[in-house]
Structure 1
């Protein structure tokens, strides 16, 4: 039976036929599954719409032009809130994220609905070392910006978000529309007091001959990430008293000395 509270949300932009496999695997693990086609020009929109015609657990939304991952997620969140869903598991359409882990991620979210459930990537030997090592910089900044708020990985986009707080953050913020969505969403939710639960999830980096597609641009997107972290550090400064208080409050109380 389809969940009335939790859905899988897949933003898709020019990922080729691989998106159909991702959607098939996601549907085998969960229902409903929504795909937001972010202005794709590779012909996959028609194939996805055809699949939705014969699969009641699948729904496809079309954006007229490419607006970015965050914008596609925002479109899905707005529709999810309108229909009464409380949580959305966001996963990429390029085959990197493990559909087999959807059930465990959703179960963790259902057990702790006030939390965000963040995938913690487990990299295989095929993972590009430049990507693996480079993400440590973003993770360091995220820990600083939240004063150790528990974000295991700031860039891994396989996550279950509580819809209401994330939607409110995005509607009040003109950023978070492209590659900067994943780290900024986690940091800003942490600022709001949404705690993070980290669950290990295997990552697949597909080669081009396997259908792998990447829209990551090292110069452009690293500049965007640098600008994002600069904004977040400035935003963190105004929240220091609250963040420090939370850090102190989270410390375990010292155990009483055992009487002799």
Structure 2
């Protein structure tokens, strides 16, 4: 499981402990963006006492997508056949990882979803829920995909999936990275499954979501959607 971190000193050891209690056979790769609060040092301490924990230190805060791309490349080079992602703040509960592992039996990408039947969120204000639901509806309508929680970050990929979707050409660095990879997986003709999870708002530390991050997501999704709609029109005219 790839865990990107920036200022998660309060959460990292706690979430890694929960993950290994729930799934002892899972290796963890912490990708730290030079956290000034000492998260990287904590990651090194964990790795020094547990061979299942590995650490990549990056030189600065370059965005969630950039951290995941670095982590995915490292995991692929290391020979892993299943590569996952999850938040380090406890929003994604390691105790539910088995649901994603079971679903991977007949899927190429499994998403732990808040917005399929059975999925829930805990301690979210109504405004934030409406924003997330609305954003995902916008994604479905504009990109023409069926995934109900394309922005979710609790996932398992098969190795072959990441190899098929050309990670080297991914340009998203923020949270829209999740949407881009879900769309690319479907465009490659691969199978995406969503399983319901309970998403819990972080209790410690600060959220990395901001207006600038949301604006980047909106711009990129709109650009992709308009480009795809134009391509569809050209295909129709060509026929």
Q: TM-score, normalised by structure 2?
A: 0.87
CA deviations over 1:86-138 (Å, ceiling 9, x no partner): 321100011100100112212221x125x210111233451122221001222
2:164 paired with 1:170: no
CA deviations over 1:54-100 (Å, ceiling 9, x no partner): 11111111111111111111111111111222321100011100100
Which residue number corresponds to residue 3 of structure 2? 10
Which residue number corresponds to residue 12 of structure 2? 19
| Counterpart contact for 1:138–1:154, Cα < 8 Å | no
Which residue number corresponds to residue 33 of structure 1? 28
| Counterpart contact for 1:10–1:91, Cα < 8 Å | yes
Q: Secondary structure at the match of 1:203?
A: strand
Correspondences of 1:53-92 after superposition (within 5 Å): 53-92=48-87
Which residue number corresponds to residue 135 of structure 1? 132
Q: Which of residues 177, 180, 184 is equivalent to 1:181?
A: 177
Structure 1 residues 144 and 162: CA distance shift in structure 2, 3 A: farther
CA deviations over 1:155-212 (Å, ceiling 9, x no partner): 2211112344435433113x221222111211222111122211011111134xxx14
How far apart are 1:45 and its partner, in Å? 0.9
Cα distance in 2 for partners of 1:183, 1:66 equals: 20
How far apart are 1:237 and its partner, in Å? 2.5
Unaligned runs of 5+ in 2: none
| Counterpart contact for 1:150–1:195, Cα < 8 Å | no
Cα distance in 2 for partners of 1:61, 1:213 equals: 22
What is the Cα-based RMSD across aligned positions, in Å? Answer: 2.2
Give the greater-gyration-radius structure (CA): 1
| Counterpart contact for 2:151–2:175, Cα < 8 Å | no
Q: Secondary structure at the match of 2:35?
A: coil
Cα distance in 1 for partners of 2:127, 2:189 equals: 32
Which residue number corresponds to residue 96 of structure 1? 91
Q: Which of residues 120, 123, 138 is equivalent to 1:123?
A: 120
Which residue number corresponds to residue 42 of structure 1? 37
Which residue number corresponds to residue 198 of structure 1? 194
In the alignment of these two chains, the number of paired residues is: 228
Cα distance in 2 for partners of 1:118, 1:124 equals: 15
Structure 1 residues 137 and 120: CA distance shift in structure 2, 3 A: same
Moved over 6 A (4+): none
Cα distance in 2 for partners of 1:239, 1:112 equals: 31
Cα distance in 2 for partners of 1:48, 1:88 equals: 19
Q: Which of residues 206, 223, 230 is equivalent to 1:231?
A: 223
Cα distance in 1 for partners of 2:41, 2:97 equals: 26
Which residue number corresponds to residue 247 of structure 1? none
CA deviations over 1:194-240 (Å, ceiling 9, x no partner): 22211011111134xxx1420111x2122111111112103322654
2:109 paired with 1:112: no
Cα distance in 1 for partners of 2:227, 2:101 equals: 31
| Counterpart contact for 1:146–1:191, Cα < 8 Å | no
Structure 1 residues 159 and 239: CA distance shift in structure 2, 3 A: farther
Structure 1 residues 188 and 238: CA distance shift in structure 2, 3 A: farther
